[in-house]
Amino acid sequence: MAGATASGEQGWSSRTAFILAAVGAAVGLGNIWRFPTLAGENGGGAFVLVYIAFVVLLGLPLVLSEILLGRTGGSDAIGSMRNVAEQSGRSKRWGALGALQITAGFLILSFYSVVAGWVINYVFISGGDFFGALFAGDPFSVAFNGETQDQITGRMGDLFADPMRLIILHVLFMAATVGIVASGVHDGIEKAAKWLMPAFFVLLIIITIYGAFTGNFAEAVAFMFTPDFSKITPIVLNEALGQALFSLSLAAGGLLTYGAYVSKDVNLAPTAGLIALADTSVAILAGLMIFPIVFAVGLDPAGGPALIFQTLPVAFNVMPGGALVGMVFFILIFFAALTSSISLLEGPTAWTMDRFGWGRKKAALIVGMVAWLIGVACALGYNMWSDVRLLGFWNIFAETDILDTLDGFTGKIMLPLGALFVAIFVGWRADANVVKAQSGLSGGMFILWRFLVAWAAPVAVSLVLIFGLLPGLLGE
Ligand code: PHE
């Protein structure tokens, strides 16, 4: 039987459907864009190691916790938190945790759509190259034929300098997201994930293998897996924690909301394991796909948010059939981004439906429009408003443009806070019997999970927050 929420929402049609949707939510720009960017900026191996430790020790237990809370609560993120708190004899004010999460997801959606717009830009460019070559009788042409490497990497700067283009691309992506969420859990979200995710995995593997043979694979492996422990500062820990949470779609309302659509007979623990495994594998594969190219063409791994948009086109420029592969690959990144952005929009949409009694279409459209407006500010932050520093008084945001500030604020602060309170709630406040029954865990596994949620997560997240953020705030 499929799960259904208080608002009468139809749930997932099967466990597989839920897994695909949840993996779809997890795998996205976080893996292919954010992970390589942060790993590159933070020195590679040490960051990757800490990131994986956070995924295994905190992320995975929290994925189970959030899906469990959603399914037990059976409503939107705020409603579910209130319900579970009430069932456990706790204050309904725990609903505020749902509100924190939904707000984080909403803010992430606003800049996520802008970055996804960059992906669409490259779908168009490589698509134009491919069809141009096709009509000229050369379907296996490389992408960016005849351009120098500098010209290819320079295209990203051209895009950033063009506010109109950034905004139009951002409209396209947000419209696609709204369209799917408006079509419903079953006919929209689930269908999208079912088709897009498997195709994505196949292409990712093909391109990684290609990179392994043609790029500087050895240097990339050394960069990603040789930890230099002197690079692990509190702020790197904070970045890595934020990235683990971001990538697993934790603390942003997505899993709480999707959890409510899961039927009672699904065993949650192995499902959570699968989501974490798939997500982490894609991040590592994305690194192994991007860094060999970075080193082969002599780009700086610390190149920032533009990094993947400069490396991949370079690969498609030398790869036989690069125009075709490039086009298909950017389409697939677009799909991966889409299955994530719909989970970002679903959280606030479900809440708006329950709260104001709006229909799904209206709720998705209005929430999407407001998020889009915030995204416009992010897009302008690359050109007209490039001097704006939203949180300039705070050390860690002193140098960041609008998009980076939103990204950093949600990732470094809101997600860790949301995760901290999920851990405290599931570890200490929720009815232990309900939690145990819902988790599907028993014996030593249950004790281990409970220890990680009740002790390890709160302590680690608190320490990371205190040491990562305070020095910056105090201006040290
Ligand atoms: N996990 C998604 C990604 O890695 C982003 C996301 C965050 C989706 C939070 C939903 C909730 O791209």
What does the alpha-carbon distance between residue 86 and residue 67 come to, in Å, rounded to a whole number?
A: 18
Token readout for 462 is 């608190």
- List C-alpha distances in Å: 122 to 36, 189, 216, 240, 321: 18, 24, 24, 28, 16
What is the whole-number distance in angstroms between the Cα of residue 213 and the centre of ligand 1?
A: 30
Report the chain's C-alpha Rg in angstroms.
Answer: 21
Token readout for 335 is 């799909």
| Test site for ligand 1: of 37, 340, 342, most ligand atoms within 8 A of the Cβ | 340
Reading phi first (left if > 0) and then psi (alpha if -120 to 50, else beta), residue 249 is in left
What does the alpha-carbon distance between residue 56 and residue 345 come to, in Å, rounded to a whole number?
A: 27
Query: Quick check: CB of 275 below 6 Å from ligand 1?
Result: no
Query: Quick check: CB of 305 below 6 Å from ligand 1?
Result: no
Query: Quick check: CB of 246 below 6 Å from ligand 1?
Result: yes
The residue nearest atom 7 of ligand 1, judged by CA position, is: 249
Kindly give the confidence (pLDDT) of every residue in the chain, 476 residues in length, as a single tens digit, with 9 standing for 90 and above. Answer: 344 454 556 789 999 989 999 999 999 999 999 999 999 999 899 999 999 999 999 999 999 999 999 999 999 999 999 999 999 999 999 999 999 999 999 999 999 999 999 999 999 999 999 999 999 999 999 989 889 989 999 999 999 999 999 999 999 999 999 999 999 888 888 888 888 888 888 888 887 887 778 778 999 999 999 999 999 999 899 999 999 999 999 999 999 999 999 999 999 999 999 999 999 999 999 999 889 888 888 889 998 899 999 988 988 888 778 898 889 889 889 989 999 999 999 999 999 999 999 999 999 999 999 999 999 999 999 999 999 999 988 888 988 999 999 999 999 999 999 999 999 999 999 999 999 999 999 999 999 999 999 999 999 999 999 988 887 777 65
**Under a CB-based contact definition with an 8 Å cutoff, are residues 152 and 310 in contact?**
yes
Closest-CA residue to 359 (of 82, 8, 102, 83) = 8
What does the alpha-carbon distance between residue 130 and residue 316 come to, in Å, rounded to a whole number?
A: 11
DSSP helix/strand/coil, 417: helix
What does the alpha-carbon distance between residue 133 and residue 111 come to, in Å, rounded to a whole number?
A: 34
| Test site for ligand 1: of 332, 344, 410, 415, most ligand atoms within 8 A of the Cβ | 344
- List C-alpha distances in Å: 275 to 64, 280, 332, 410: 10, 9, 19, 22
Closest-CA residue to 255 (of 447, 21, 36) = 21
Q: Which residues of 421-455 are buried (b: 16+ CB within 10 A; e: fewer)?
A: bbbbbbbebbbeeebeebbbbeeeeeeebbebbbe
| Test site for ligand 1: of 248, 249, 332, most ligand atoms within 8 A of the Cβ | 249
Nearest atom, ligand 1, residue 415 CA: 9
Closest-CA residue to 28 (of 113, 141, 93, 107) = 113
Token readout for 207 is 């391109």
Q: pTM above the 0.85 mark?
A: yes
What does the alpha-carbon distance between residue 384 and residue 401 come to, in Å, rounded to a whole number?
A: 11
What does the alpha-carbon distance between residue 204 and residue 31 come to, in Å, rounded to a whole number?
A: 12
Residue 6, class by beta-carbon neighbours within 10 Å (0-12 exposed, 13-18 middle, 19+ buried)?
middle
Closest-CA residue to 85 (of 427, 435, 430, 433) = 430
- CA 253 from chain centre, in angstroms, equals 12
Query: Quick check: CB of 348 below 6 Å from ligand 1?
Result: no
Query: Quick check: CB of 30 below 6 Å from ligand 1?
Result: yes
Q: What is the pLDDT of residue 6?
A: 46
What does the alpha-carbon distance between residue 347 and residue 256 come to, in Å, rounded to a whole number?
A: 8
Token readout for 4 is 């259904």
Token readout for 210 is 């290609």
What does the alpha-carbon distance between residue 182 and residue 349 come to, in Å, rounded to a whole number?
A: 9
- Apex 452 CA angle, 88 and 345, nearest 5: 65
Query: Quick check: CB of 61 below 6 Å from ligand 1?
Result: no
DSSP 473: H
What does the alpha-carbon distance between residue 349 and residue 358 come to, in Å, rounded to a whole number?
A: 9
The residue nearest atom 9 of ligand 1, judged by CA position, is: 249
Do you know the residue count of the chain? Answer: 476
**Under a CB-based contact definition with an 8 Å cutoff, are residues 378 and 403 in contact?**
yes
Reading phi first (left if > 0) and then psi (alpha if -120 to 50, else beta), residue 291 is in alpha
Q: What is the pLDDT of residue 420?
A: 98
Query: Quick check: CB of 26 below 6 Å from ligand 1?
Result: yes
